[in-house]
Structure 1
Amino acid sequence: MTTNDPAWVPEACTLPTIETPTRLAEFDGLFATALLGQQLLAPTRLRWRLDPAAEATARDLTRRENECCSFFTFTVTPVADAVKVDVEVPVAHSDVLAALAGRAAAGLRS
């Protein structure tokens, strides 16, 4: 199973299957255009640093993702030169977080 295969999306996610590719594309777009860096802080905690211009997009996307995948906790915080997004999951979903980190790493802009 790869992060390009929507099968890594857990059953706990209530997003209709037909909408999954669109949502993944939204995350990929955010990563490709705004991701400045990421840190895996723990197996259940990830931090992204985004371009400040992407704050509204990040807030909207993470809000919508939390509506269908309630196991995620997203915290969006503006800092001096970026927007920090902390992503947390329960231990049972650490594989989902790892897959999301892999998608982000693939899209990390240089």
Structure 2
Amino acid sequence: MSDHHIATDDAWVPETCTLPTAERPLRLAEFDRFFTEAVRGLERLSAQHLRLHLDGGTQVEEAARDLTARESSCCSFFTFGLSRADAGLLSLDVRVSAAHVDVLDALVERAVSVRDHR
């Protein structure tokens, strides 16, 4: 893990997100930590579909389930699916409707940026 600090700019968070504004920097920091510690790779399968390849540890699976459940409750336009491809890796599929492709674009940019600063 790196000591680099990634800004938690929430300018890309859509208006349809119901998470209180004061809580957004904390959630963004959680995603940054998740991207840094758990994500091993990513694939953009389509404009509306992202697949994150995750470390297969039990703690990562629990963190992914917790974070995606909380994110789904405030940003219902996200659909998350977590699966285990093999004992060593998990896959987290993130899907959005065509109306929210820009949010998925921003999520991809964020994940890549955070991972590049590890």
Q: TM-score range by the shorter chain?
A: over 0.9
Q: Indicate conservation of the 8 Å contact 1:44/1:90, yes or no.
A: yes
Q: Indicate conservation of the 8 Å contact 2:8/2:29, yes or no.
A: no
Q: Give the greater-gyration-radius structure (CA).
A: 2
- In structure 2, the residue matched to 1:13 is 17
Unpaired runs of 5+ residues, structure 1, are: none
Q: Indicate conservation of the 8 Å contact 1:45/1:89, yes or no.
A: yes
Q: Given the alignment, which residue of 59, 64, 68 partners 1:58?
A: 64
TM-score of the pair, normalised by structure 2: 0.86
Q: Structure 2 CA distance, aligned partners of 1:39 and 1:5? A: 24
Greater helix fraction, Structure 1 or Structure 2: 1
Q: Structure 1 CA distance, aligned partners of 2:51 and 2:115? A: 13
Where does structure 1 differ by over 6 angstroms across 4 or more consecutive aligned residues? none
Identity %: 50
- In structure 1, the residue matched to 2:79 is 73
Residue 42 of structure 1 pairs with residue 46 of structure 2:
yes
Q: 1:4 offset after TM fit, Å? A: 4.5
Q: Given the alignment, which residue of 89, 94, 105 partners 1:87?
A: 94
Q: Indicate conservation of the 8 Å contact 1:75/1:87, yes or no.
A: yes
* 1:90-101 correspondence runs (5 A): 90-101=97-108
Q: Indicate conservation of the 8 Å contact 1:37/1:108, yes or no.
A: no
Unpaired runs of 5+ residues, structure 2, are: 1-6
- In structure 2, the residue matched to 1:108 is 115
SS of structure 2 residue aligned to 1:108: helix
Q: Indicate conservation of the 8 Å contact 1:9/1:96, yes or no.
A: yes
Q: Structure 2 CA distance, aligned partners of 1:95 and 1:107? A: 18
Q: Indicate conservation of the 8 Å contact 2:16/2:75, yes or no.
A: yes
